[in-house]
Amino acid sequence: MVLVVLGSDSDLATMEQATARLEKLDVAYELTICSAHRTPDRAAELARTAAQRGFRVILAGAGAAAHLPGVLAAYTTLPVIGVPLSGSQLQGVDALYAIVQMPSGVPVATVGIDAAANAALLACEILALSDDDLKQRLKAARQEMVAAVEAKARQYGRRFP
């Protein structure tokens, strides 16, 4: 249901934050590696066939001159969420600018640098528009987050004097 594309195996550790969220929310995904620069034909084919293969959203993580999300978006009207990845000499600012500054007509929803978990949650929110069970699981996850912050407030909160 969610196609997760990485520009390189060196992106795996960060992008696994996305797949962990998808697994926690019981959302099916397929993860693959494909480079806009090193394997441009494969990138085009992946995006062209994604909808007919049953995918509803694409997550694409890439670093450096990160054209992967934009190239995928060029070949499909499925929503594409781009994750700019750090690790380059410019620490992800290069990837952020490359992904977020799409020309008019071909949108890529862009999350923060290395924000793979948020990309997965955004993908789930898109899917939840037509999936009430997933909507409930997302609400439950928000409640867990509220409880975790409240527990930290109890643990670390203090007054002086």
Among 64, 80, 98, 121, binds ligand RP5 (CB under 6 A): 64
Q: What is the DSSP string of 87-120?
A: -STTTTHHHHHHHH-PPTTS--EE--TT-HHHHH
Exposure string over 106-139, b if 16+ CB within 10 A, otherwise e: bebbbbebbbbbbbbbbbbebbbeebeebeebbe
**128 SS3 class:** helix
Among 10, 49, 77, 136, binds ligand RP5 (CB under 6 A): 10
Among 8, 39, 91, 118, binds ligand RP5 (CB under 6 A): 8
Among 85, 115, 116, 134, binds ligand RP5 (CB under 6 A): 85
* Minimum distance of ligand RP5 from residue 64's CB (angstroms): 4
* Minimum distance of ligand RP5 from residue 35's CB (angstroms): 5
Binding range to ligand RP5, per CB under 6 A, among 45-53, 62-70, 74-82, 104-112 = 62-70
> Which positions touch ligand RP5 (CB under 6 A)?
7-8, 10-11, 35, 62-64, 85, 87
